């Protein structure tokens, strides 16, 4: 958890989570996406909250595996081949 690689991966996850939160607000809030009707303050608050939760989840997950990654399954989790 003290390595630069951990924090880079954790921040990447947090940014992705923030983006997903914004998209979900936009897609669920209106049937038709209207960029001009978005309450940007609320949207930014939700995205920032989601990013903080993501970072906290990464910090809590780090000791579980003990391999220095912010993931419960690890960066080297096996990939399943498509059927």
The answer to whether residue 2 is domain-embedded is: no
The answer to whether residue 83 is domain-embedded is: no
The answer to whether residue 69 is domain-embedded is: no
- The predicted-structure confidence for 10-57, as pLDDT tens digits, reads as follows 999 999 999 998 888 777 765 556 667 778 888 889 899 999 999 998
DSSP secondary structure string, 9-66? Answer: HHHHHHHHHHHHHHHHHHHHH-SS--GGG--HHHHHHHHHHHHHHHHHHHHHHHHHH-
Prediction pTM value: 0.69
pLDDT beyond 70 at 77: no
Q: How confident is the model over 57-76, as a mean pLDDT? A: 74
The dihedral sign for the CA sequence 56, 13, 6, 75: positive
Per-residue pLDDT, 15:
93
* Residue 21 lies in domain: 7-61
Q: How confident is the model over 49-68, as a mean pLDDT? A: 84
Tally of domains within the chain: 1
């Amino acid at each position: 958890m003290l390595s630069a690689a951990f924090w880079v991966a954790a921040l990447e996850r947090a940014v992705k989570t923030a983006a997903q939160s914004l998209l979900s607000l936009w897609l669920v809030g209106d049937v038709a996406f209207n960029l001009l009707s978005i309450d940007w303050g609320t949207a930014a608050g939700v995205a920032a909250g989601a990013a903080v939760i993501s970072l906290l989840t990464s910090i809590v997950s780090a000791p579980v595996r003990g391999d220095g990654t912010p993931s419960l399954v690890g960066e080297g989790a096996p990939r399943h081949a498509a059927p």
